[in-house]
């Protein structure tokens, strides 16, 4: 059933009548309104047919016929909107997806945490240093990170700067993909020196060799490169946190008789903004995009069922993705109840594991990190719990980078806390580096195989 424009209870700004958690307080309201008006006149970043195509892909993944790989930075930064950074992010996502495609023998749908992942929730509105209190840094879309009052005051012009960078990012990604991105077809050119450092080296070498052989074989019989990705083959996603940003590009499409948030294909609701009576749930219920909801240990059975009823009242396939992030230690305790709560609703959902956000810890020196083994362990448990309950894990959500950073510990090279200082770049959450991300992709293929072997 379509959400009719004439329906009076929802419009792109109806969220304003609710409590909006995690929003910046702009001192100059008139300037904010001007920016929202300016932004709403710009062309959209994505189109409704791409959004619908992703919804179809998610519906396939819900049926077990495809797998979703969602990955990227915790927060994109304006400084890293460079060709090198974008190439590196695209490369790691494409290479991981190829490993997973060959391992799982099913299509892998790539979704970047990119082209708009600029706003962050914070645990406190105010940060105090040496007796001085200033607004917390909320991401490049909102304010600037240096600890001065001029930098920390929310600046509405950053909303436009962020939108422009999001558009530049996706534009470049699309051009690279159209150009073929040759690197993808030649695993022999991938940076795989790390493989020899792993106890699983033999297995990893076999995976890479089998990808090369399969590609050669397919190219020989078809006479053309096999992996000609089409434009829409990488989708964009970000946390739909900053509601003025989302609202400004939300359009009613007469042809479809629905509202679309055209800042991105796939916005998600973060863990801190999923209150039933809150502004985010109000905004998200009115848009036609496929949407994600992060669920953590605080989620209850009733709350989850209420979210599903409000956000997917017609049980539409492809509409809802539940991204669970319980932590390696809690996933076995919490996930079964969530799965049974969803079953009771009869609504189709895609289950995705985010093995990052429940596994963040601080070193004795106060550096935020995550251990590779905990990330892997949450993934293993997630596959297992789903399988044991007659459900299935249809995707993963990872914070990663194509760079050689040292932010998470462990992995084939056995990074330790002592390595973190060497190349720690994230200003927010720690990401898997290139090698760790590739290793996770190889492990996921194996885990997925065991989930489906009995099917
Ligand atoms: C995030 O994805 O960066 C994030 C803040 O996650 P969560 O809402 O799950 O804590
Ligand atoms: Co994060």
Higher-confidence residue of 245 and 94: namely: 245
Residue 121 CB less than 6 A away from ligand 1: yes
* pLDDT recorded at residue 224: 66
- Condensed to tens digits (0 to 9), the pLDDT of residues 75-93 reads 999 999 999 999 999 989 9
Phi, psi (degrees; rounded to nearest 5) at 102 = -75, -35
Q: Is the confidence at residue 454, as pLDDT, over 80?
A: no
CA atoms within 13 A on the CB side of 249: 26
Which ligand number lies closest to the CA of residue 400?
A: 2
> Of ligand 1's atoms, which has the minimum distance to the CA of residue 239?
2
Higher-confidence residue of 353 and 227: namely: 353
Mutate to test the pocket of ligand 1, among 117, 141, 241, 325 (most ligand atoms within 8 A of CB): 325
Contact 314, 344 (CB under 8 A): no
* Cα–ligand 2 centroid distance for 226 (angstroms): 34
% of the chain residues with pLDDT over 90: 80
The boundaries of the domain holding residue 246 are 3-451
> Of ligand 1's atoms, which has the minimum distance to the CA of residue 271?
8
* Cα–ligand 2 centroid distance for 202 (angstroms): 33
| Segment holding 98, helix H or strand E | helix 83-104
* Cα–ligand 2 centroid distance for 39 (angstroms): 26
Q: How far apart are CA 267 and CA 274, in angstroms?
A: 13
Mutate to test the pocket of ligand 1, among 117, 136, 271, 293 (most ligand atoms within 8 A of CB): 271
> Of ligand 1's atoms, which has the minimum distance to the CA of residue 121?
5
Residue 237 CB less than 6 A away from ligand 1: no
Q: Which protein residue has the closest C-alpha to ligand 1 atom 1?
A: 74
* Cα–ligand 1 centroid distance for 196 (angstroms): 33
* pLDDT recorded at residue 227: 55
Say how many domains are in the chain: 1
- Condensed to tens digits (0 to 9), the pLDDT of residues 173-186 reads 998 887 766 566 67
Query: Model confidence at 212, in pLDDT bands (50, 70, 90)?
Result: confident
Residue 74 CB less than 6 A away from ligand 1: yes
Q: What is the CATH number of the domain that holds 318?
A: 3.20.20.70
> Of ligand 1's atoms, which has the minimum distance to the CA of residue 429?
3
* Cα–ligand 1 centroid distance for 336 (angstroms): 21
Instruction: Give the contacts of 43 (CB within 8 A, at least 6 positions apart).
Output: none
DSSP state string for 403-446: S----SBBTTTTB-GGGGGGG---SSS--B-HHHHHHHHHHHHH
Query: Model confidence at 455, in pLDDT bands (50, 70, 90)?
Result: very low
């Amino acid at each position: 059933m379509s959400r009719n424009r004439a329906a009076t209870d929802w419009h792109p700004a109806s969220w304003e009548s609710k409590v909006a958690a995690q929003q910046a307080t702009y001192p100059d309201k008139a300037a904010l309104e001007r920016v929202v008006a300016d932004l709403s006149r710009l062309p959209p970043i994505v189109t409704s047919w791409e959004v619908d195509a992703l919804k179809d892909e998610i519906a396939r993944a819900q049926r077990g016929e495809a797998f979703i790989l969602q990955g990227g930075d915790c927060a994109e930064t304006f400084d890293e909107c460079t060709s090198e950074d974008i190439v590196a992010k695209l490369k790691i996502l494409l290479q991981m997806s190829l490993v997973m495609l060959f391992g799982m023998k099913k299509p892998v749908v790539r979704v970047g945490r990119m082209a708009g992942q600029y706003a962050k929730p914070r645990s406190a509105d105010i940060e105090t240093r040496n007796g001085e209190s200033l607004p917390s840094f909320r991401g490049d879309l909102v304010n600037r990170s240096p600890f001065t009052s001029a930098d920390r005051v929310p600046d509405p012009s950053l909303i436009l700067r962020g939108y422009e960078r999001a558009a530049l990012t996706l534009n470049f990604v699309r051009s690279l993909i159209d150009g073929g991105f040759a690197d993808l077809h030649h695993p022999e050119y991938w940076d795989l020196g790390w493989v020899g450092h792993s106890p699983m080296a033999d297995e990893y070498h076999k995976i890479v060799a089998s990808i090369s052989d399969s590609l050669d074989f397919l190219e020989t019989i078809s006479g053309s490169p096999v992996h000609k990705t089409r434009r829409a083959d990488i989708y964009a996603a970000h946390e739909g946190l900053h509601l003025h940003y989302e609202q400004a590009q939300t359009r009613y499409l007469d042809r479809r008789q629905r509202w679309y948030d055209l800042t991105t294909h796939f916005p998600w609701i973060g863990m801190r903004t999923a209150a039933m009576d809150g502004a985010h749930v109000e905004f998200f219920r009115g848009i036609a995009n496929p949407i994600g909801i992060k669920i953590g240990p605080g989620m209850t059975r009733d709350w989850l069922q209420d979210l599903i009823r409000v956000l997917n009242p017609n049980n539409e396939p492809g509409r809802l993705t539940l991204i669970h992030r319980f932590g390696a230690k809690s996933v076995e305790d919490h996930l079964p109840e969530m799965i049974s709560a969803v079953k009771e609703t009869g609504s189709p959902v895609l289950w995705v594991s985010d093995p990052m956000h429940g596994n963040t810890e601080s070193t004795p020196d106060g550096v935020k990190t995550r251990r590779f083994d905990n990330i892997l362990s949450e993934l293993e448990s997630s596959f297992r719990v789903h399988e044991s309950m007659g459900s299935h894990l249809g995707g993963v959500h990872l914070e990663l980078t194509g760079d050689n950073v040292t932010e998470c510990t462990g992995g084939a090279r056995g990074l330790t806390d002592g390595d973190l200082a060497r190349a720690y770049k994230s200003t927010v959450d720690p990401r898997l580096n290139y090698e760790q991300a590739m290793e996770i992709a190889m492990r996921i293929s194996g885990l997925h195989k065991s989930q489906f072997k009995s099917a």
